[in-house]
Structure 1
Amino acid sequence: MHDSLTADFDSGRLITTLSDLAEAASAVILPYWRADAEVITKSDDSPVTLADREAEALILARLGDLYPGVPAVAEEACEAGGRPEAAADCFWLIDPLDGTRGFVRGGESFSVNIALVEAGRVVAGAVSAPATGVTWAGDAAGARRRRFGEAWQTIQVRDRPDAAQALVSHSLTDKEAEALSARHGCATWTGMDSSLKFCLIAEGRFDVYPRTGPTSEWDTAAGQAVLEAAGGRVLGPDGQTLAYGKPGFMNGPFVAMGG
């Protein structure tokens, strides 16, 4: 890490900085929510709005000012200019508005994701939910949750109950969701957009989030930081912790789980 970044990480200031920044980006996004914002279709058929672009510009500018020289891999910049060919040893992963489809529908399950990766491992991250005014954060000191403007509360995963509950992507059909949940020992499931699934497992409300389809690394990094700090795990098909800086910054299948 760069000297200023190392100092802030070691002191715990970094996670507060990332959380404050995610909440500032939330303030940029909220005026566009349920306001019939113009939707642009990207080359991969996914939607983007001015909210995505303005939030990302804010995050990149502030991180650049605070920690010059630390590279960033951010969704909209990558979609516009191409994904980097290789990852740096230390870099930011940013999704300024995760769950854009739900955001466009007027749903509440969208988030701002900011994470720090070092040597292939996510070491700190913040996830803010603009619609509900809640931020989750995780680093070496543990996981925590706060409502915007309020004090932090420590969170942790729960011991897996006999009737475990799964969270799955909203893109699945009911039949697919039921089969995937059952495969991971869950009798019930709930569909949800965005990285908030990691955070709800981290605070002990759900138990498993299995994912079979591809995702980009910026979709998962911040949520994984929160979940791991709360005592959970995110594992690939090989049983190893989901790593970062992979070719194309793409994830394969994984399962996120609590206790």
Structure 2
Amino acid sequence: MTDVRRSNGRRPRPHGVTGVTRVGWPPSWRGQRAATAFVHQARKQAKGARMSSQLPPGPIGLTSVETLALGAVREACLIARSLAATIQTTPVVRKADDSPVTVADFAVQCWIARCLTATEIPLIGEESAEALAAAGPEMLESVHAALPAGLRPRHPNELLLWLNRASQVRSAPGGCWWLLDPIDGTKGFLRGGQYAICLALVREGTPVFGLLGCPALPQSGIPLGNIGQPAGVLLLGHRSSGAWQSSLSEAAAWRAIQCSDSGSIGAKIRICESRDLRHAWRGLLDRSLERLGVSAAPVRIDSQCKYALVARGDAEVYARLPRDPSYVEKTWDHAAGAVIAQAAGARVSDLDGLPLDFSRGVALVGRGLLVASPRWHTALLDALRNAG
């Protein structure tokens, strides 16, 4: 086959591929500059509800990498919110375990993966290019149309390259990596309830920086039922700088948040748990609360929004008690929420009292989950052990 080259000695790009960093290669300086310009262009074109990403006031000191991630997640929240308004008319496919995947799952992961190209940090994400390709041309076209106008690639097939950045990495790469759940709580997203966009930076197996974008979560309080289209919130947690919350519609209005440590053992407390009954072993939880003399009716909520409620003091406890002892949690379902809750002063552990182990890539090491303010964590952990 003839080796066709331009006069500068380089092969021409394949038709339809324009400026996409090759999958599996560390981006060059030019690739970093292009990816950074891509995000800057997204912010510049943002109008109306699409606010530019500003640093939180106070002693936060975000790095350029963290700032880039913050802007990507905020824009992803607006993409997801827009799709939520038309979810009844967009395609949905099912995974092998019968869990749903929507246009929003793919679109958000495509967007964030593309934005994070400049960081040169490996990305582990829930969705894959293979799944998007298998979903068919209607899904691919819908994902392409969901991205901001002027920023989507020329051809929908290029989205597979964007997704490949995450789907090629399934085990912990060592050093530092991103963990992404593009739409955590897809069932909540479909029913008009709670869902979250979850991104964490993991270093040596420990999440050190986390972002939760919660487009349907109100500024305060525990949401009950479907609440329409509120302002939505963005939460940020940094192990060295605490936890913060901002409204999606007011990017500059950040406030520090802290978990609640009020109340005494035996008083009525606020507890949240999963809507998925596989992770809500009510018998065990009820026996444990009874041992403490607690009167509480757990509120069932989708997604990592439960971490957010504990972090900002709207709930004292988030308990995740799987019925099946062989069930293995996924790291992307917990990393961002865990670092935010811990940065807000809460304690996060498995049901044996051990720290969550994120060092193995996709699989989370540990049995169950307990997130609580310090006053409640030890007492409830002991009660769960005795009741089990």
**TM-score bin (small chain):** 0.7 to 0.9
Aligned to 1:49: 102
Contact 2:123/2:169, CA 8 A, preserved across alignment: no
Q: 1:86 to 1:116 in 2, by over 3 A?
A: closer
Contact 2:357/2:364, CA 8 A, preserved across alignment: no
The structure showing larger relative contact order (alpha-carbon pairs under 8 Å, at least 6 residues apart) is: 1
Contact 1:15/1:138, CA 8 A, preserved across alignment: no
TM-score (norm 2): 0.59
Letter in 2 for 1:53: F
Q: How far does residue 211 in structure 1 lie from its aligned partner after superposition?
A: 1.1
Aligned equivalents of 1:241, 1:115: Cα separation in 2: 16
- Are 1:84 and 2:184 counterparts? no
Aligned equivalents of 1:143, 1:112: Cα separation in 2: 17
Aligned equivalents of 1:168, 1:202: Cα separation in 2: 15
Aligned to 1:172: 277
Q: How far does residue 113 in structure 1 lie from its aligned partner after superposition?
A: 0.4
- Are 1:12 and 2:62 counterparts? yes
Q: Residues 1-259 of structure 1 correspond to what in structure 2 (within 5 A)?
A: 11-13=61-63, 14-35=65-86, 36=88, 37-65=90-118, 67-68=119-120, 70-77=121-128, 80=131, 84-107=170-193, 109-131=194-216, 132=230, 133-139=232-238, 140-148=240-248, 149-150=250-251, 151-161=253-263, 162-172=267-277, 176-177=281-282, 179-180=284-285, 182-183=287-288, 185=292, 186-188=294-296, 189-213=298-322, 214-246=328-360, 248-251=362-365, 252-259=367-374
Structure 2 residue runs of 5 or longer lacking an equivalent are 1-31, 33-59, 132-166, 217-229, 323-327, 375-388
Aligned equivalents of 2:256, 2:190: Cα separation in 1: 32
Give a deviation string over 1:153-183, Cα, whole Å, max 9, x none.
000011142322211000129x943642552
Aligned equivalents of 1:179, 1:82: Cα separation in 2: 39
Aligned CA RMSD, in angstroms, stands at 2.5
Aligned equivalents of 1:18, 1:85: Cα separation in 2: 21
Deviates further, 236-245 or 199-208? 236-245
Aligned equivalents of 1:254, 1:198: Cα separation in 2: 11
Aligned-residue sequence identity (percent) comes to 31
Q: 1:79 to 1:178 in 2, by over 3 A?
A: farther
Q: How far does residue 250 in structure 1 lie from its aligned partner after superposition?
A: 3.1
Aligned equivalents of 2:233, 2:179: Cα separation in 1: 20
Contact 2:188/2:302, CA 8 A, preserved across alignment: yes
Q: 1:178 to 1:21 in 2, by over 3 A?
A: farther
Deviates further, 96-105 or 158-167? 158-167
Which has more strand, going by share of residues? 1
Contact 1:125/1:225, CA 8 A, preserved across alignment: yes
Q: How far does residue 103 in structure 1 lie from its aligned partner after superposition?
A: 0.6
Deviates further, 37-46 or 207-216? 207-216
Larger Rg: 2
Aligned equivalents of 2:276, 2:78: Cα separation in 1: 27
Deviates further, 194-203 or 21-30? 21-30
Q: 1:29 to 1:119 in 2, by over 3 A?
A: same
Give a deviation string over 1:175-201, Cα, whole Å, max 9, x none.
943642552555321000000100110
Q: How far does residue 79 in structure 1 lie from its aligned partner after superposition?
A: 8.0
The number of aligned residues is: 248
Aligned equivalents of 1:91, 1:180: Cα separation in 2: 35
Contact 2:356/2:364, CA 8 A, preserved across alignment: no
SS at match of 2:277: coil
Q: 1:34 to 1:123 in 2, by over 3 A?
A: same
Q: 1:178 to 1:160 in 2, by over 3 A?
A: farther
Q: How far does residue 78 in structure 1 lie from its aligned partner after superposition?
A: 8.6
Aligned equivalents of 1:38, 1:194: Cα separation in 2: 21
Structure 1 residue runs of 5 or longer lacking an equivalent are 5-9
Aligned equivalents of 1:71, 1:243: Cα separation in 2: 18
Q: 1:49 to 1:257 in 2, by over 3 A?
A: same
Q: How far does residue 34 in structure 1 lie from its aligned partner after superposition?
A: 4.0
Aligned equivalents of 2:123, 2:169: Cα separation in 1: 11
Letter in 2 for 1:255: L
Q: 1:232 to 1:15 in 2, by over 3 A?
A: farther
Letter in 1 for 2:184: D
Aligned to 1:7: none
